[in-house]
Amino acid sequence: MKVLVTYFSQSGNTEKIARAIYGEAAQNNDADLKKLADITPEEVAGYDVVFIGSPLHSGSLAAPIKECLGVIQPSSGQKLAGFITHMAPAYPDQDMEAFAEPIKAACQENGIEYAGCFDCQGFLAESMHAAVQKKLNMSDEQWAEMVKQMTGRPNEEDMANAKACAKEVLG
């Protein structure tokens, strides 16, 4: 099978997960790993299975990912799976469903099978800490706890989980 792992990543977390998924996919498939900026919608249509990855930005997929999903080419027989990293330790299932909605919608509109969405925590870039602590109105103690929880994520376990999910998608 031809498999594409494509992603948008500003501080490397989503890229880490992309690399783990690619490692799994490349074992038994003709797999490519490409940054979203390096691929066209026409090229995406040439793959049997596509994994598309995004950080969560203000409770939504990153803008370039949403843009790509909006112009994806119809392709019957193709499978599309998402992966998302976020700084929050975990979100309720219904929130994750809502975040993945643009991926599902792109599948529905283009005759593509939706193959689910993996997610895990990812460390927030240091440069954003002060602003986010303020925005979330957290005390220094609460913020220190938050930083402790997200330090080192995605970790080895996250990458193993991503690989297991990819294995399932690839059958």
Q: Site residues (CB under 6 A) for ligand FMN? A: 9-15, 55-59, 85-88, 122-124, 128
Q: Which residue is nearest to ligand FMN (CB)?
A: 122
Q: Which is nearer to ligand FMN, 1 or 63 (CB)?
A: 63
Q: Which is nearer to ligand FMN, 76 or 127 (CB)?
A: 127
Shortest Cβ distance from residue 87 to ligand FMN (Å)? 4
DSSP 29: S
Shortest Cβ distance from residue 66 to ligand FMN (Å)? 14
Shortest Cβ distance from residue 116 to ligand FMN (Å)? 19
Q: Which is nearer to ligand FMN, 25 or 146 (CB)?
A: 146
- The token pair that represents 105 in the structure block: 């919608």
Q: Which is nearer to ligand FMN, 79 or 86 (CB)?
A: 86
Shortest Cβ distance from residue 14 to ligand FMN (Å)? 3
H/E stretch holding 65? helix 63-70
Q: Which is nearer to ligand FMN, 71 or 131 (CB)?
A: 131
* DSSP conformation letters of 95-136: HHHHHTHHHHHHHHHHT-EEEEEEEEE-PPPGGGHHHHHHHT
CB 118 within 8 A of CB 84: yes
Backbone angles phi, psi at 58, to 5 degrees: 50, 50
Shortest Cβ distance from residue 64 to ligand FMN (Å)? 11
8 burial type by CB count under 10 A (0-12 exposed, 13-18 middle, 19+ buried): buried
